[in-house]
A and B are shown apart, each in its own frame.
Chain A
Amino acid sequence: MTAWMNHLIVAPVILPLAASAVMLLFNERRRRAKNAISLITLAILLAIAIALLAQTVALGFSGNSATRVYLIGDWPAPFGIVLVADWLSTLMLVLTAIIGLFAMTYALARWDRAGPRFQALFLLQIMGLNGAFLTGDLFNLFVFFEILLAASYGLLLHGAGAQRVKAGLHYVAINVGASLLFLIGVGLIYGVTGTLNMADLATIIPSTVGLDLALLQSGFAVLGIAFLLKAGMWPVGFWLPRTYAAAVPPAAAVFALLSKVGIYALLRVYLLLFGGNVGWTGNFGEEWLLFGGIATVAFGTIGVLAARTLSRVAGYCVVISSGTLLATIGAGEGGSLGGVLFYLVSSTLGLSAFYLLLELVERRDAEATVQAIVEPVFDDEYTGVAPGHEEVEEEVGIVIPATIAVLGGGFAFCALLLAGLPPLSGFIAKFAIIHSLINGQPGIDASTWVFVVLLIGSGLAILIATSRAGIDLLWEPSDKPPPALRLAEAVPVGMLLLVCLGLMVFAGPVMRYMDRTGQSLQDRQGYINAVLSAPRRSPEAAS
C-alpha cells in the first residue's frame, strides 16, 4: 500500500467539505460553475469509494484483515480520533456516492434552482454521511450526525413553501431533541467507561459490574433511542413519511439513505459492543429491536395501504424497509446479516430511484401540489437565475419520446423492487433474510413467524398501493399532454435502477461480499485489534 493510498480513507470527508466551502465563494448566479464543481466532486467521491471497496475486497479475500485505520493527526488509537474503513464502511461509502452522484445529476435539470446554495448543502450532506460511516468514535459519530442533519434541514427547506416549512419545523425540533438524547447517552457511557472510542469501549464494557452496569445500560438505551428515532422505528418514527414527502425529490432521494444511517450506527455499535454470547452483553436489547421492528413493519404496511399520495407511499416504504432491517438484526441470527446488508443496499437504491421517479410521474397533474417551486421566504442575495441568461436552456433539453412508456416501465420496476417480487434484487434480499431466519433452527419462535408473515404481507401491501397509484397516474386517460421528460432526469433514475439490476445479475458475488461483511461484523476481536494496534506513521513514534 503506497503512502497516498493510506490517505484515501480521509478523502471522502475532506473532499466534499472543501468543495462545498469553495462553492460558497461563488455568486449564486454562477450556476454552471457550481454544478460542474459538485458533479466532479461527486464523481471523484464515487471513484474513491470504489477504490476503497476494491482495496477491501483485495485485502479481505486474500486472508488479511480488511480493516484499515486512519489516525487523524497521528495520535495513537484510543486517545486520538480514528477513521476506520472496513467491509461495512466501504460498502456504505459506495452506496452514498452512487446515490449522491445520481441525485445531484437529477437535481441539475430543475431543482437546484428552487432555492439558494443547494449544491453546497448537498455536498455537506454527503460529507456528513461519509464521516458517520467512517468514524470509529462515538462522539465523532455525534458530530457527523449533526453535520448531516444540519445539511438535511437546509435540503428539506430547499424550495420553501408552507408545506416544507411546517414539516421542517417538526423535523428540526424532533432531531434536535434526538441529538440531546444522543449526548445524554454519550455522557453516561463516558462517565462510566472513560472512553468513547468504540474499540476501546468493546474491551472495557464486558467487565462492568454493579451500579456502573446499570448506568452504562441506561446510557446505551438512551443512545439506542436516538438511533432508532433516526431510523424511523415505531413509535418514534411518525415524523418520517410526512417529512420525506415534503422534500424536493433529489433531497428525498438522499433522505432515503439518511434513515439508514440510524441502522448503520445500530449495526456498528450494537454488534461491536453487544455481540458475543457471554454475559449481559450477549442479548442486550435484542427483543426491543425485534418487536420494535415488527411493529414498524406493521405500521408501515397499514400506512402504505392508507396513503393517498405517491410520496406518502414512498415514505411508508422507507418505514417498512427500516422495520425489516431492525427486526432482522433483533432476531439475532448471525447468518442473517448478509441478507440484512443486501436488503439495506437494494431497498435504499430502490427507494432513492422511487423518490426521483415519482415526481416525474406526478408532474402531469402537479399544478397545486407541494412539489411546485414557490417563492423563497427570505430574499437574501438569492435572485434566481439571471433573466434571459440561463432560462433558455431549460426549454431546449432533449425530450424523450414515448414518455409514458419510459415512466411506466421505470415505475413498474421500482414497484417490483420495493415489493420484493422475483426476479429483482428486492426478492433476493427478502429471500435471503427469510431463509436465514427459518433455516437450520430447531424450533422457530412465534415472533419469527409473525415477522416472516408481515414481511411478505408488507410486500403485498406495497404492490397494491403502487399499482393503484400507477394505474391512476399513468393509465388514466387525460386531456393534458404527457409531461416533458428531460434526459438529465431520466438518466439518473435509469442508472439507479441499473445498479439494482446489477445487484440482481451479480447476486452471487454481491451476496458473498455481504456475507463476508456480516462475518466481519461478528469478528469483534479483529476490529478491536486493528484499531487499538494501528501503527503510527511518524518516525519518532516508532520508538
Chain B
Amino acid sequence: MEVVLALGIGIFTASGVWLILRPRTFQVVLGLSLLSYAVNLFLYAMGRLRVDAPPVVGSDAAVDLAQHADPVPQALVLTAIVISFAMTALLLVVLLAARGLTGTDHVDGEEEQ
C-alpha cells in the first residue's frame, strides 16, 4: 500500500508541476488541481497509513489508542479539500474572464511572438 500511495503522490506531483509550467490557462488550472490531490494524499499519509482502524474513539471505558487511526490529518485533509476546491472554482472564473477580455487563453493574456 505504501508503494502505491507514494507512486500516486509522485505521479500527481510530477504531472501537476509539468502542467502549471505550461502556457495555457486551462493547463495551469488542471496542474493546480492535480497538485492539490497530491498534497491531500500526502497530508493524509502523514497520519500514518492504517487499515481497518476507526478514527473516532468510542464511549467505552478502556480505549486503546494504538487501535485507532489518527483523526487530525483526516480533519486537515477535509479542510484542505474544501479550500482547494473553492480556489479552483474561483480560478476557473478568472480564467473565463481572462479569455473573454483578452481573447486568448495564454497565461500572460497575449500570445508569444
A interface, CB within 8 angstroms of B: 139, 143, 146, 150, 153, 157, 160-162, 165-166, 168-170, 172-173, 176-177, 179-180, 183-184, 186-188, 190-191, 194, 196, 377-378
Interchain CA distance A187-B39 in the complex, whole Å: 9
**B interface, CB within 8 angstroms of A:** 20, 25, 28, 32, 35-36, 39, 42-43, 45-47, 70, 72-73, 76, 79-80, 83-84, 86-88, 90-91, 93-95, 97-98, 100-102, 107-109
CA distance A161 to B100 in the complex (A): 11
Known A162-B101, A190-B46; contact A168-B94, beta-carbon cutoff 8 A: yes
Q: Which residues from chain A contact B84 at a C-beta distance below 8 Å?
A: 176, 179-180
Docked pose: A377 CA to B93 CA in angstroms: 10
With A153-B90, A169-B95, A170-B107 as given contacts, are A177 and B39 in contact (CB-CB < 8 Å)? no
Q: State which of A176, A184, A187, A378 has its C-beta within 8 Å of the C-beta of B97.
A: A378
From the candidates B32, B45, B47, B94, name the one contacting A177 in the complex (CB within 8 A).
Answer: B32
How far is it, in angstroms, between the C-alpha of A469 and the C-alpha of B39 when the chains are bound? 46
Give Cα A352 to B91, complex, Å. Answer: 27
Question: Are B83 and A179 within 8 A (Cβ)?
Answer: yes
CA distance A170 to B76 in the complex (A): 27
Contacts A162-B101, A176-B87, A190-B72 supplied; 4 other A-B pairs, CB < 8 Å: A165-B97, A165-B101, A166-B108, A184-B39
A250 to chain B, nearest CB (A): 21
* A183 to B97 Cα, complex, angstroms: 28
Task: Give the most central of A168, A169, A184: most B CB within 10 Å.
Answer: A169
Residues of chain B with a CB closer than 8 A to A177's CB: 20, 32, 35
Chain A residues contacting B95 (CB-CB under 8 Å) are 169
User: In the assembly, what is the distance between CA of A170 and CA of B86, in Å?
Assistant: 17
B76–A186 contact, CB under 8 A?
Answer: yes
> What is the bound-complex CA distance between A191 and B48, given in angstroms?
8
Verify B32–A166 contact, CB threshold 8 A.
Answer: no
In the assembled complex, which residues on chain A have CB atoms less than 8 Å from the CB atom of B20? 173, 177
Evaluate contact between B87 and A190: CB separation under 8 angstroms. no
A150 B87 Cβ-Cβ under 8 A: yes
Contact, CB under 8 Å: A165 / B94: yes
Q: Chain A nearest CB: distance from B23 CB in Å?
A: 12
Tell me the complex Cα distance, A162–B110, Å: 11
CB distance from B13 to the nearest CB of A (A): 10
Contacts known (A177-B20, A183-B39, A188-B46); A157 close to B94, Cβ less than 8 A: yes
